[in-house]
């Protein structure tokens, strides 16, 4: 038992020993975790508390639910992309999902608050992107379903705490994911030949950058991690840089928005068709209507890369913001 624990700890521990209900024990364990100081000397104790908490949350052994419900980790894809928000405990993942989407996952000042994922929709301009709040990455309790969820992602947001130990958190999280063969896209060439790897675009969110003064720390962090790991300082609390965050996620998704213009009418600019970057007129037609794609003869395009109403063929590559009139 570490010697320098605050007196509160022992009071809570005593209450914990006397507690009878599961709920009460869970609440007291969380309290204990919040008062234990974070340093090497308490590593063992903290790991032990985490294990106890995990086992309490799992409930009594051998009492399997009768009906097999669908796993909460299996989340239907909605909108223009699926983007889990992952990272070590207490870095502000849930707070960010709350600030960016319509979802309201629990936020609390102690670690291991979130135990199941919560999806929410984030609006960027005229598209909706699905963010997913997730339980913390945890060496002591590896959740295989969380890893599968990350493997299905289009982009991964890795949240670290700029006011905590951001470099350590980054290294631990990346090392952890790598153990389970999840790596950033830029390493694809290196590991590409080996089977079973998932490569994802990552964005590092240096959360709790509440003040513009924190940017200096974020710059140092960026310097240390290198260009392959884009770092964005954000604050769930003050909303700093959340608009930049939305734009960055959109860019990492590598998607474009294309608008359909029925002949003789104006396009509906509030309802884009979302396609992968590099998509052609043919791909667009297939999105609008399957039969259209077959009957397509030519198309006219308005946008930055063409002159207004330029006639193009099926193979013409489209760009974000293009307006297309399909002709059969
Ligand atoms: N100052 C500051 N505090 C923040 C910010 N974002 C989150 N917090 C606080 O950090 C604590 C943890 O936030 P959560 O959103 O619960 O963190 P989490 O990463 O979801 O935690 P787990 O679910 O336990 O993994 C809470 O006390 C939040 O109020 C921020 O941008 N600035
Ligand atoms: Mg959380």
139-165 pLDDT tens trace = 888 899 999 999 999 999 999 999 999
Strands 198-200 and 182-184: parallel
Angle at 222 between CA 220 and CA 226, to 5 degrees: 125
Q: What local confidence, expressed as pLDDT, does residue 290 receive?
A: 80
Residue closest via CA to ligand 1's atom 32 equals: 208
Q: What local confidence, expressed as pLDDT, does residue 64 receive?
A: 52
Q: What local confidence, expressed as pLDDT, does residue 327 receive?
A: 87
Q: What local confidence, expressed as pLDDT, does residue 68 receive?
A: 58
Ligand 1 in contact with 107 (CB < 6 A)?
A: yes
Q: What local confidence, expressed as pLDDT, does residue 59 receive?
A: 72
Strands 202-207 and 298-302: unpaired
Q: What local confidence, expressed as pLDDT, does residue 189 receive?
A: 85
Closest listed ligand to the CA of 110 = 1
Phi, psi dihedrals of residue 143, rounded to the nearest 5° = -100, 105
Structure tokens given for 183: 């790596």
**Beta-ladder partners of 300:** 311, 325
- CA separation (Å) from 47 to 38, 50, 93, 112, 141? 11, 5, 21, 12, 10
Q: What local confidence, expressed as pLDDT, does residue 300 receive?
A: 96
Q: How far apart are CA 142 and CA 180, in angstroms?
A: 10
Q: What local confidence, expressed as pLDDT, does residue 134 receive?
A: 98
Closest listed ligand to the CA of 236 = 1
The CATH homologous superfamily to which domain 255-327 belongs is Beta-grasp domain (3.10.20.30)
Ligand 1 nearest-atom number relative to CA 240: 31
Write down the architecture of domain 82-253 according to CATH.
Answer: 3-Layer(aba) Sandwich (3.40)
8 A C-beta contact, residue 115 and residue 71: no
State the sign of the Cα–Cα–Cα–Cα dihedral 161, 165, 166, 170. Answer: negative
Ligand 1 in contact with 92 (CB < 6 A)?
A: yes
pLDDT < 70: residue spans in the chain: 1-3, 60-69
Extents of the domains making up the chain: 7-58, 82-253, 255-327
With b meaning 16 or more CB within 10 Å and e meaning fewer, what string describes 207-238? bbbbeeebbeebeebbeebeeebbbbbbbbee
Q: How far apart are CA 149 and CA 240, in angstroms?
A: 28
Ligand 1 in contact with 110 (CB < 6 A)?
A: no
User: What's the predicted TM-score (pTM) here?
Assistant: 0.79
Q: What local confidence, expressed as pLDDT, does residue 39 receive?
A: 87
Contacts of 72 (CB under 8 A, 6+ apart): 116, 117
Ligand 2 centre from 205 Cα, in Å? 15
pLDDT in tens, 48-62: 999 989 888 887 655
Mean residue pLDDT of the chain comes to 91
Ligand 1 centre from 90 Cα, in Å? 5
Ligand 2 centre from 245 Cα, in Å? 19
Q: How far apart are the first and last CA of the chain?
A: 78
Ligand 2 centre from 105 Cα, in Å? 7
Contacts of 300 (CB under 8 A, 6+ apart): 261, 309, 310, 311, 312, 324, 325, 327
Q: What local confidence, expressed as pLDDT, does residue 70 receive?
A: 79
Ligand 1 nearest-atom number relative to CA 163: 1
Phi, psi dihedrals of residue 89, rounded to the nearest 5° = -65, 145
């Amino acid at each position: 038992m570490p010697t320098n624990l605050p007196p509160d700890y022992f009071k809570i521990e005593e209450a914990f020993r006397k507690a009878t209900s599961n709920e009460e024990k869970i609440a007291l364990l969380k309290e204990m975790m919040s008062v234990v100081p974070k340093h090497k000397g308490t590593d063992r104790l903290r790991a032990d508390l985490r294990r106890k908490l995990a086992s309490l949350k799992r409930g009594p052994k051998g009492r399997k639910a009768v009906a097999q419900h669908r796993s909460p980790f299996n989340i239907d894809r909605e909108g223009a992309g699926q983007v889990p928000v992952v990272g070590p405990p207490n870095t502000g993942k849930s707070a960010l999902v709350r600030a960016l989407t319509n979802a309201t996952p629990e936020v609390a000042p102690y670690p291991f608050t979130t135990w199941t994922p919560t999806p929410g929709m984030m609006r960027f301009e005229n598209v909706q992107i699905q963010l997913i709040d997730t339980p913390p990455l945890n060496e002591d309790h590896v959740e295989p379903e969380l890893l599968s969820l990350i493997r299905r992602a289009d982009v991964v947001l890795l949240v670290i705490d700029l006011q905590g130990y951001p470099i350590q958190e980054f290294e631990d999280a990346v090392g952890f994911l790598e153990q389970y063969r999840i790596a950033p896209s830029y390493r694809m060439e290196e590991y590409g030949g080996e089977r079973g790897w998932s490569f994802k675009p990552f964005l590092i969110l240096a959360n709790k950058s509440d003040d513009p003064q924190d940017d200096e720390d974020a710059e140092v962090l960026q310097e240390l991690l290198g260009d392959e790991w884009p770092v964005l300082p954000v604050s769930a609390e003050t909303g700093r840089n959340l608009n930049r965050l939305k734009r960055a996620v959109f860019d990492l998704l590598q998607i474009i928005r294309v608008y359909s213009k029925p002949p003789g009418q104006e396009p509906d600019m509030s309802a884009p068709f979302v396609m992968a970057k590099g998509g052609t007129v043919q791909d667009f037609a297939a999105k609008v209507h399957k039969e259209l794609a077959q009957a397509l003869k030519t198309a006219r395009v308005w946008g930055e890369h063409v002159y207004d109403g330029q006639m193009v063929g099926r193979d013409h590559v489209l760009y974000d913001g293009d307006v297309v009139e399909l002709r059969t």
